[in-house]
């Protein structure tokens, strides 16, 4: 059957709506096949009942077609099948030569058998209805859970976006506020140096040293602002930003931090920012917790994906981080999940810590 022919129908023969697609029942058995199976079962049981004689009762076996009728068509068809089954049973016994002292005996037996079938039909129908209700509840709960997960992921992305905007605002404030103020202070200090030098004052050397310290503070402020605003990511991409991260880390911490790049990845801004933040957090962990003396940042891009690694020669992960309970590690793992990347961190061969983030199936330029 073509997909276009698949339609939904509602079966009300069983007293409650039952959804089927292309005439297929919930059990995967077509109505026509079920009807043939019911007829064949009743015929086979009736033949066996006839040849075994009226002394041997096959009443219990007639419940097989009755149960199949209830399952495939509903309780009404089940009741009709029960009536036909009792009729076939009576006809088989009479044909086999059954004799009763009282004519009411066979009808009494038929009534008892039919009543038993009705009880079993009611129980089976209720069981099937309960099963359908449970399946519907499970489906609804699954849909609700899926929606909740999707909404949570959306909110997490919004929160990270807000955090990134706050970083940018803080970076602009550092650059335009504190940076400009320090620049003005440096100019004022330079004027003071010139005045002191004009008078050959001994304090001129100290003032010069003060101006030098202010200029170093200006440079540090600019680097901090650049790390928060991520202007290099928007302009030159992830490679340039990681190179700047390595240089900044080396200057500020006096720890050798190197960057190696194999291939130039082409990524959207959101993915680039998340990968940069992961590398930034890994470098920060190496400097603050591992007491590393050497850090290597590596970016490898190929047709199969992108791999970002940060390796250090420090003391390894602290106990809290090793158990995956550190806030920084959870944020790194969550950022990797958002961009569809895998994340792993653990001991590096030869000592230290190795962080690996792999992003598969992305467009790259080698």
pLDDT for 286 equals: 87
Quick check: 308 pLDDT over 90? yes
Q: What is the mean pLDDT of residues 208-225?
A: 81
Q: Of 103, 124, 150, which marks where a domain is finished?
A: 150
For residue 26, give the 3-state DSSP assignment.
coil
Dihedral of CA 134/136/139/140: which sign? Answer: negative
Quick check: 3 pLDDT over 50? no
Dihedral of CA 287/290/293/296: which sign? Answer: negative
- In the chain, what percentage of residues exceed pLDDT 70? 81
- Range with the poorest average pLDDT among 231-240, 324-333, 351-360: 231-240
Q: How far is CA 236 from CA 28, 80, 131, 232, 272, in A?
A: 58, 78, 59, 5, 11
Do 245 and 146 share a structural domain?
A: no
**Residue 30 per-residue DSSP state:** B
pLDDT for 157 equals: 72
Q: Is the backbone of residue 309 left (phi > 0), alpha (psi -120 to 50) or beta?
A: beta
Q: What is the mean pLDDT of residues 327-334?
A: 83
Quick check: 351 pLDDT over 90? no
Q: Which CATH number covers residue 300?
A: 3.30.565.10
Judge whether 244 lies within some domain.
Answer: yes
Judge whether 303 lies within some domain.
Answer: yes
Most confident residue range from 157-171, 214-228, 261-275, 322-336 = 261-275
Q: What is the mean pLDDT of residues 93-120?
A: 83
Judge whether 72 lies within some domain.
Answer: yes
Do 249 and 144 share a structural domain?
A: no
Helices and strands, counts by H and E, the chain: 11, 9
Beta bridge partners of residue 296, listed in sequence order: 258, 311
Q: What is the pLDDT of residues 138-178, one digit of tens each?
A: 999 999 998 988 888 787 777 767 776 776 677 667 766 77
- Range with the poorest average pLDDT among 13-22, 65-74, 280-289: 13-22
Q: Of 99, 126, 150, which marks where a domain is finished?
A: 150
Most confident residue range from 53-57, 110-114, 312-316 = 110-114
Q: Of 150, 183, 214, which marks where a domain is finished?
A: 150
Do 11 and 140 share a structural domain?
A: yes
Judge whether 112 lies within some domain.
Answer: yes
Q: What is the pLDDT of residues 30-67, one digit of tens each?
A: 788 888 888 888 888 888 878 887 777 788 888 899 98
Q: What share of the chain is helix, strand, coil (3-state, %, to 5)?
A: 65, 15, 20
Domain that holds residue 135: 3-150
DSSP 132-188: HHHHHHHHHHHHHHHHHHHHHHHHHHHHHHHHHHHHHHHHHHIIIIIHHHHHHHHHH
Residue 363, φ and ψ in degrees, nearest 5? -75, 130
Q: How far apart are CA 163 and CA 21, in angstroms?
A: 48
Do 145 and 276 share a structural domain?
A: no
Residue (of 333, 331, 275, 283) closest to 299 by Cα position: 275
Residue 263 half-sphere exposure toward CB, CA atoms < 13 A: 18
Please give the tally of structural domains in the chain.
Answer: 2
Judge whether 193 lies within some domain.
Answer: no
Judge whether 326 lies within some domain.
Answer: yes
pLDDT for 362 equals: 52
Do 125 and 25 share a structural domain?
A: yes
Judge whether 105 lies within some domain.
Answer: yes
Quick check: 4 pLDDT over 60? no
Do 139 and 8 share a structural domain?
A: yes
Banded pLDDT at 181 (limits 50, 70, 90) = confident
Banded pLDDT at 297 (limits 50, 70, 90) = very high
Judge whether 156 lies within some domain.
Answer: no
Q: How far is CA 154 from CA 99, 138, 148, 336, 338, in A?
A: 78, 24, 10, 15, 10
């Amino acid at each position: 059957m073509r997909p276009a022919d698949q339609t939904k129908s509602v079966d009300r023969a069983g007293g409650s709506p039952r959804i089927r697609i292309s005439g297929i029942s919930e059990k995967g058995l077509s109505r026509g096949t079920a009807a043939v199976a019911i007829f064949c079962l009743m015929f086979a049981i009736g033949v066996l009942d006839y040849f075994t004689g009226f002394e041997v009762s096959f009443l219990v076996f007639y419940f097989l077609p009755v149960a199949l009728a209830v399952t495939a068509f509903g309780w009404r068809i089940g009741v009709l099948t029960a009536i036909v089954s009792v009729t076939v049973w009576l006809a088989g016994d009479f044909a086999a030569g059954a004799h009763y002292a009282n004519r009411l005996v066979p009808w009494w037996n038929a009534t008892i058998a039919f009543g038993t079938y009705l009880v079993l039909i009611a129980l089976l129908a209720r069981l099937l209805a309960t099963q359908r209700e449970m399946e519907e509840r499970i489906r609804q709960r699954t849909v609700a859970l899926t929606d909740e997960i999707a909404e949570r992921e959306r909110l997490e992305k919004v929160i990270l976006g807000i955090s990134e905007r706050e970083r940018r605002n803080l970076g602009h404030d550092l650059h335009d506020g504190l940076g400009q103020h320090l620049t003005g202070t440096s100019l004022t200090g330079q004027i003071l140096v010139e005045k002191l030098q004009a008078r050959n004052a001994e304090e001129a050397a100290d003032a010069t040293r003060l101006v030098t310290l202010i200029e170093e503070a200006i440079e540090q402020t600019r680097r901090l602002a650049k790390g928060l605003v991520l202007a290099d990511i928007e302009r030159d991409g992830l490679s340039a930003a990681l190179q700047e991260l390595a240089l900044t880390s080396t200057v500020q911490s006096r720890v050798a931090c190197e960057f190696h790049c194999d291939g130039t990845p082409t990524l959207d801004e959101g993915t680039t920012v998340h990968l940069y933040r992961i590398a930034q957090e890994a470098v920060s962990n190496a400097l603050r917790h591992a007491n590393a003396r050497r850090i290597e940042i590596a970016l490898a891009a190929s047709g199969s994906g992108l791999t970002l690694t940060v390796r250090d020669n420090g003391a390894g992960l602290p106990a809290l981080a090793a158990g995956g309970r550190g806030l920084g590690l959870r944020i790194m793992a969550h950022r990797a999940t958002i961009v569809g990347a895998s994340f792993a961190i653990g001991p590096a061969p030869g000592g230290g810590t190795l962080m690996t983030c792999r992003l598969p199936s992305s467009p790259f330029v080698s």
